[in-house]
Structure 1
Amino acid sequence: MPSSKPAKATTGRTDWAALRAMSEDEIERIAAEDEDNPATDEAHWAEATVGLPPGKTSIHASFDRDVVDFFKRGGRGYQTRMNAVLRRYMEAQQAKKA
């Protein structure tokens, strides 16, 4: 059932004005120094493939509060991370049966 509350606008943490003021070289340097940004080059992408994720099904599910809180602490995309954990579990179980 749709909520009667209006949707809240989300604001990101990106300083777009500062980003637009940077040169391409400066952006590349910052990205190269970022330890969370894996170093990639042409060889890294040589065997990359493009794939579409499987279709999503919306369900109602109940989870333990501490489990949901754990994933929410990781920020936006917590449901996607929860799905990824469930997918790995599913794949591991399927591999055992194969």
Structure 2
Amino acid sequence: MNKDHDSLKEDEENPIWTKDDFEKAQPAQNVLPKEFFASMKKARGQRGKQKDPTKQQVTLRLDPEIIDYFKSQKPEGWQTRLNQALKSYIDEHPI
């Protein structure tokens, strides 16, 4: 084992933060230029923010067999198919 303990020495370029450092810290959006965030590439397969949100996010509890039914057809897009099924039901059964 290395008795010098190099790994425990403080890194001058990245000093250990003090309580005061944490209290003075600000979110990146407040200190970095907007161009920084604009230049960041999205990860592959990551969707961008909706320009004009057309749907609302909700939390909904469903029976497992309902989820299994829609996922068994094809796991991808099961929520879209469930949405379409609900729309069809509404069209056929107006209140």
What TM-score do the two structures reach when normalised by structure 2?
A: 0.41
Instruction: Please tell me whether Structure 1 or Structure 2 has the larger radius of gyration of its CA atoms.
Output: 2
* More contact order relative to length (CA 8 Å, sep ≥ 6): 2
